[in-house]
Amino acid sequence: MIASYRIRSDARGIEERARTIAVEQSVEMPLAAIREKAILTDIVGEVGAIEDRGDGWFDVEIALAATTVGADAGQLLNMAFGNTSLHEDVVLQDLRLPPELLTIFGGPRHGLAGLRRRAQAEGRALTCSALKPQGLSAEALGELSFALAMGGLDFIKDDHGLADQAYSPFAERVRACAGAVRKAAATTGRPTRYVPSLCGHFGQIAKQLEIAREEGVDTVMIAPAIAGVSTLQGLVAAHPDFAYLTHPTMSGAARVAPALFVRLFRLFGADGAIFPNYGGRFGYSSATCGEIADAMRAPWGDLKSGVPVPAGGMTVQRVPEMLRFYGRDAMLLIGGALLSAPREELAAQTAAFVRAVAEYDYEA
Amino acid sequence: MIASYRIRSDARGIEERARTIAVEQSVEMPLAAIREKAILTDIVGEVGAIEDRGDGWFDVEIALAATTVGADAGQLLNMAFGNTSLHEDVVLQDLRLPPELLTIFGGPRHGLAGLRRRAQAEGRALTCSALKPQGLSAEALGELSFALAMGGLDFIKDDHGLADQAYSPFAERVRACAGAVRKAAATTGRPTRYVPSLCGHFGQIAKQLEIAREEGVDTVMIAPAIAGVSTLQGLVAAHPDFAYLTHPTMSGAARVAPALFVRLFRLFGADGAIFPNYGGRFGYSSATCGEIADAMRAPWGDLKSGVPVPAGGMTVQRVPEMLRFYGRDAMLLIGGALLSAPREELAAQTAAFVRAVAEYDYEA
């Protein structure tokens, strides 16, 4: 596999620096001390193209042996950036993976097409909102879900801050929200999905999935930078009936290119990835957001496309602009702006969001 | 709990910025849309002291409700830094936790004292080396373990790059290395420990621990920034007979203060934490390393002390200087420099390292 790093360096030092990273990310010991010729030729990282980006930054490609990854998502991060992430002046910019790693990880099991089928939403973008604020009881979150679902959304997800807290334990919350959404869906005729946020380790999450499954939930959210990418990988393999949306929390900024993280989440099985849209509460540019959308949707071996989910301070007013930018193969997520509506108007304002997405002219 | 953030801002904007972070890290929605008074008073983050550090940087304290954490390590990171980690201009500098969270997480189960007992190493620093390079077969790693163990080390750990690769599957490797170390220990009379590196998700690691336990292994290594801190927490709770060393890979630089990460690893149950020593391959200053050592050892509620494990390009020549700096309550880890010895001298050079640590005058 080829890892691309953006490195701050002077021109004189960049080759040596690149060689140091190639060793750090492969054998992590002095080459002179390696006696096995096969390790020197097959395992030690190899410096490829070095490009001067100006302003003291260089792009460096390093070829790393895919055999060092084995079949574990965490180990892929470890070999691509692990110890080098401890240097302040290096950003992991890109990873080009050989076909065998794509086969091993397998990507989304449902992807954009599967999420569309669940939402019965052909030919348009998908819609989503979020349950907030935390501190609400399970019952209150259930009432909120009901109002949002009455607006006809495709997906209603937990705030990523909702975990397994005393004021709203996971099991209670899932029962309350899934039940409320089912009830609303029976009225609206829309197959609205409640999407609970998973937390803890693989064993705990497996139990959460059981609870969710009992409530008819088939789409869940996970934060791989906290739960661990191996956890995502393992869940996707063990519970392929669920579709997985990823949340970007704790994925940092400026150290791993955001689009790369999203691409890896897709590789490991994410069906959709939430990310901060440009012009919202976070500083991502529209170029970065375009790259993130590509990371989920662009053809990539035999992997399914996933759905990009721009979010973070979005409004109903911005729907047409967002649809112009992302097109129909996206899920729009509006949380706080909808929740700011007086409760008695929440369903109606949600319905206005849903309508704006449904009635947009995607061919224009 | 009080989170301290270092924020790049101008003086005029810092208060507003601080308030924005307080909302982002608690309820993540417009305050005007929150109807429940208890949430506004008990859950929404509160800005405390703001200190101008000069050069456009400010230190800001924000009080966050511990109830939002529940009892999950991942959720602690999520609430302390999750979405805010997506901003390039904010560093999580410190976390002050209330006693109830210390009780919930519990810290090291063995700690420095327990590791000392395992190594029968009263009154001196502990010693450790690493098995490298990856690409070696399980058998070759076993031979290497044997030579290192004949030198009388306390701990011999896997390189953090060793996972479950085709050229050295976990089970084979653990059997080969644990067996070789047992054999050497029977000769030297030293209770040398082999420390395998764990990888994958909680369920996979639980199986790895079974294999390790069968081989008499009682000390293991984990990379919490990859495996997930909830995985560390869950393993410590479910398998408290093992002592856990943490590896810093993927914990990034400059976004979360390194000493804070180590302190959290201790909180979640790490008995020792490996970190890059100053003057080695990584850019940490001696001040940062001093803070990291404090993070593992300083009195903290009822939590046991853990052992700081400075590493990363260390040499036997530096042992006296490192012991002057860290004192006896440390584990010195020398990998590549020992492994550079001709194989027939490896045990002797390792023994010289062990002797340098044993014979150092800690009272001087």
What is the distance in angstroms between the Cα of B236 and the nearest Cα belonging to chain A? 12
CB-CB under 8 Å, A339 with B29:
yes
Q: Where does the pLDDT of residue A363 fall: very low under 50, low under 70, confident under 90, or very high at 90 and above?
A: confident
Cα–Cα distance for residue pair A330/A273, rounded to 1 Å? 10
DSSP H or E run through A203:
helix A202-214
Single-letter code of the amino acid located at B60: V
The pLDDT value recorded for residue A171 is: 97
For residue B169, pLDDT beyond 90: yes
Q: In the prediction, which pLDDT does A266 show?
A: 85
B259-292, pLDDT tens digit by residue? 887 888 888 888 888 888 999 877 789 999 999 9
Task: Report whether pLDDT(B251) > 80.
Answer: no
What's the length of chain B? 364
The tokens describing A111, both together, are: 């992807």
Which strand (E) or helix (H) includes residue A181? helix A170-188
B107 has a pLDDT exceeding 80 = yes
DSSP B75-132: HHHHHHHTGGGGSTTEEEEEEE--HHHHHHH---SSHHHHHHHHHT-TTS-EEEEEE-
The C-alpha of B303 sits at a distance from chain A's nearest C-alpha, in angstroms, of 22
CA distance A271 to A113: 9
Tell me whether strands A243-246 and A219-222 are parallel, antiparallel or unpaired. Answer: parallel
User: Is the Cβ of A227 closer than 8 Å to some Cβ of chain B?
Assistant: yes
What integer pLDDT is reported at residue B56 of this predicted model? 94
From the CB of residue B142, how many other CB atoms can be counted at a distance below 10 Å?
24
pLDDT bucket at A91, cuts 50 / 70 / 90: confident
What's the angle, vertex CA A224, arms to CA A219 and CA A227, rounded to 5? 100
Strand B90-96, strand B2-8: pairing: antiparallel
Q: Residue B316: pLDDT above 70?
A: yes
Chosen for mutation from A75, A87, A201, A256 (greatest number of chain B CBs closer than 10 Å) is A201
Average pLDDT, chain B: 91
Reading the block at residue B81, the tokens are 């830094």
The stretch B39-66 carries a mean pLDDT of 95
Question: Is pLDDT at A214 greater than 80 in this prediction?
Answer: yes
Find chain A residues with C-beta within 8 A of B134's C-beta. 26-28, 39, 43, 68
Contact A234 B20 (CB under 8 A): no
DSSP string, A12-75: TTHHHHHHHHHHHTTT-S-GGG---HHHHHHTS-EEEEEEEEETTEEEEEEE--GGGTTT-HHH
Q: What is the 3-state secondary structure (H, E, C) of A270-303?
A: CCEEEEECCCCCCCCCHHHHHHHHHHHHCCECCE
Task: State in Å, rounded, how far the first CA of chain A is from the last one.
Answer: 40
Region A240-256: mean pLDDT is 81
Q: Residue B255 — very low, low, confident or very high, per pLDDT cuts 50/70/90?
A: low
Report CB contact under 8 Å: A228, B132: no
CB contact under 8 A, B28 and A251: no
Query: Is pLDDT of A60 > 60?
Result: yes
Res. B254 pLDDT band, cuts 50 70 90 = low
> pTM for this one?
0.90
pLDDT, position B137: 96
Mean pLDDT over B312-333 rounds to 93
Residues 122-151 of B with CB under 8 A from A: 132-136, 140
Residue with tokens 């014979």: B359
Dihedral of the CA atoms B32, B33, B36, B41 (nearest 10)?
-40
Task: Say yes or no for a CB contact (<8 Å) between B340 and A70.
Answer: no
pLDDT at B170: 97
Supply the DSSP string of A132-147, one letter for each residue: --BTB-HHHHHHHHHH
Q: What token pair was written down for B197?
A: 């590196």
Q: A11 and chain B: CB distance < 8 Å anywhere? A: no
In sequence order, the 6+-apart residues with CB closer than 8 A to the CB of B164 are A70, A71, A72, A75, B170, B199, B200
Distance in angstroms (rounded) separating the CA atoms of residues B177 and B183: 10
ipTM of this model? 0.87
Best of A23, A39, A86, A343 to disrupt the B interface by mutation (most B CBs within 10 Å)?
A86
**Is any Cβ of chain B less than 8 angstroms from the Cβ of A278?**
no
Is the pLDDT at A39 greater than 70? The verdict is yes
* pLDDT tens-digit map of A108-164: 889 888 999 999 999 888 999 999 999 999 999 999 999 999 999 999 999 999 999
Cα–chain center distance at B264: 8
A299 touches chain B (CB under 8 A): no
Within chain B, where are the H helices?
14-24, 37-42, 73-81, 99-105, 111-119, 138-150, 170-188, 202-214, 224-227, 229-238, 258-267, 286-297, 319-326, 336-339, 343-359
The answer to which of A163-177, A243-257, A283-297 has the lowest mean pLDDT is A243-257
Window from A287-291, B20-24, B279-283, B334-338 with minimum mean pLDDT: B279-283
- pLDDT at residue A364, as a whole number: 75
CA angle B162, B167, B171 (to 5 degrees): 65
d(C-alpha B312, C-alpha B270), whole Å = 19
- For chain A, give the mean pLDDT: 91
B167 in contact with A, Cβ within 8 Å: yes
Chain B from 26 to 55: CB within 8 A of any A CB: 26-30, 32-36, 38-39, 42-44
pLDDT at residue A105 in the model: 87
From B243's Cα to the closest Cα of chain A, the distance in A is 19
